[in-house]
Structure 1
């Protein structure tokens, strides 16, 4: 078994699992933001919630795989303390620490979502909004530590995902702002 693990193309798997984690978490966030749009109701809204949950759990799975592979990598192995304790890695402690904090944050968001019925809505929502800084930490971790980041496709991926999430968030805020204005009678609905 150990011989099999040593012969794995771990560096390729580490990079691939990191990128897949980032992309599936991006999809989860984009769907989560779209979930709040008033156009989605009933069955479609339920379907969005399932996709949102599935994408985030898949992203977490890829992130955990990314982490475990760092432990067994023979080229630049990390020990458990370097992975689990933020900013303790020998190589690139700050950027590795950002990845560790993002992982803990993601676990917190997923866990509190599972127990949201036991939390006050405002508490759950505040914790769920941590998804934004967690995603930013993941993006910084990938941009500055990822070995593929200097390639055009990777740069385009990071730029596109950031623009899409910022755009969706702005649309979300605009819609909620209009909704609040209609409730207090400042504007007429369209």
Structure 2
């Protein structure tokens, strides 16, 4: 019977990385919304976002190494960095590779953030909204049991959480933009009534 321990490591690290990346994306969504309380200040969210990103990277590293070392499927080290060249499920693995490459760019630019124009950094950081769904679709497409009950449920819950976070951020941004207009209209109305 073949040793399946590396398959279990790859599978488990992929699932946990998905959860951590989802949490990282959610914290990234909350950060610009200036969410915080006296007991949970905003800088805590930023620190948690950064630390979860690094923890996600560690889990992703375990996932990648276990996939490359496992001889059951023909995935080479180059396949982990160069998208769509693998002999094993080139499309699905390629999506994961593109996501990983984007994540590396996000990590590098975040580490260099003090030396990068803030607008450029923000623009680059928006690519996280591409990185996360690519990784999720990669897992659904290449995972040996990704479409069975609990793995599929995990993917659905992660998707719903991120969509809810994005909807909340869009609604908050629109409300913030409308507030000055409403205040200006109220001031104009009050001036006319005076």
TM-score, L = length of structure 2: 0.86
> How far, CA to CA, are the matches of 1:144 and 1:74 in structure 2?
20
Query: Is contact 2:74–2:88 with CA below 8 Å preserved after alignment?
Result: no
Q: Quote the residue 1:104 is aligned against.
A: 101
1:135 is matched with 132
Query: Who is 2:8 aligned against?
Result: 12
What is aligned with 2:91?
94
- Structure 2 contact 10–67 (Cα < 8 Å) conserved: yes
> Which structure 2 residue ranges, 5 or more long, are not aligned?
188-194
Matches within 5 A, 1:10-159: 10-40=6-36, 44-159=41-156
CA RMSD after TM alignment: 2.0
Counterpart for residue 3 of structure 1: none
- Whether the 8 Å CA contact 1:181–1:187 is kept in 2: the answer is no
* 1:27-79 alpha-carbon deviations (Å, 9 max, x no partner): 11111212223341676211111111111111111111111111210211422
Query: Contact 1:70–1:77 (CA<8 Å) still a contact in 2?
Result: no
Q: Deviations over 1:121-172 (max 9, x none)?
A: 2111111111011001001001111112122111111111111111111111
SS in 1 for 2:54: helix
Paired residue total: 183
Q: In the alignment, is the contact (CA less than 8 A) between 2:81 and 2:100 conserved in 1?
A: no
Larger Rg: 2
Distance 1:82 1:187, change over 3 A: farther
Q: CA deviation at 1:17?
A: 1.0
